[in-house]
Amino acid sequence: MGLRPNLLTRRAAGVASTTLALLLSTAAVGVVPAASALSAAPGASCAEPTDVHSDARVKKGGSAKLDPNELTAKQVRDREADLAAALRERANFRAGAGATTLATVTVPVVVHVIQRDTTRAGGNIPDSMVTAQIDVLNEAYGGATGGAPTAFGFQLQKVHHVTNAAWYPIVQGSSAERQMKTSLREGGKNTLNIYLGELSDNLLGWATFPKRKLDSMDGVVALSESLPGGTATNYNQGDTGTHEVGHWLNLYHTFQGGCSGSGDSVSDTPAESSPAFQCPTGRDTCTTAGLDPITNFMDYTYDSCMYQFTPGQASRMLTAWNAYRAA
């Protein structure tokens, strides 16, 4: 696959240009759900996985304190068993209460801008960057960038600027991160809370997977300068947000599981042995059919390279929404 023609037409005016000569290659690191014993048998009682972070994108030279890269095969089995159990619970609820399965979803979004002070250098980005990020999400998830349309649209409810030096930068997995989210998170399971700021360890972002029981850690964290118009060269067109919201909606990385097994649990994303960086057109790391999906939002390429979800990913996200996040 190559670059989509006129890719930058969807980007906000004034976005800093990308250059392949400046390497900000990411490394796939993040915190993943702890393994838990689940039964996929119909009617079985299942303990849901304890999710922390599903993914963390890292700038070149950065390193996270935790480095699970991707889910283990057991963690994927546990998550898939939990999804099956959640779907059974949902089906039983619909049968008893007459609830309907959603075909289209408008996701309310609350954005928390975490800043050290009121300067741009201290994290105080303009609200125009936030609204541009919401536009990017709607275009990406609506199929306007060249991929499959999904059921999801995003509606900004609030931009909340918070000046708190103790939370800046946002440190992945820290007690300060938990305190921040516990203090600030708004809405129910259907509300996307996005936390923006400078991040620890040169990270670009991380996210949580959906769970049957809401907890305060639920949401997406992203580097504020990765938003459209930001200063994170090669990653300043808003697709860190697109990628992390994909995890929040239950997508794995395209390279999950490498060349064997169930991979990312989506049949129409070709297997990929490892994350792709920059935009390596024609990359093919597995013997199975199809080139590596380097233009998929769930890989690790430059923002200028990624532009699509697949129909299978769209279906998986909607299935997970109806299992975990629908009212």
Active site amino acids: 244
Sheet holding 152-163, edge to edge: 28-29, 55-58, 203-207, 220-223, 192-197, 105-115, 152-163
How far apart CA 58 and CA 150 sit, in angstroms, is: 27
How far apart CA 112 and CA 181 sit, in angstroms, is: 10
Sign, CA dihedral 219-53-202-309, equals negative
Q: Where are the beta strands (DSSP E) in 142-231?
A: 152-163, 192-197, 203-207, 220-223
CA 42 vs. chain centroid, Å, equals 30
Q: Which residue has the tokens 């996200």?
A: 317
Q: Where are the beta strands (DSSP E) in 55-199?
A: 55-58, 105-115, 152-163, 192-197
How far apart CA 11 and CA 267 sit, in angstroms, is: 30
Q: Is 11 exposed, middle or buried (0-12, 13-18, 19+ CB in 10 A)?
A: buried
Nearest to 53 by CA among 220, 169, 194: 220
Look at strands 192-197 and 152-163 and give their pairing.
unpaired
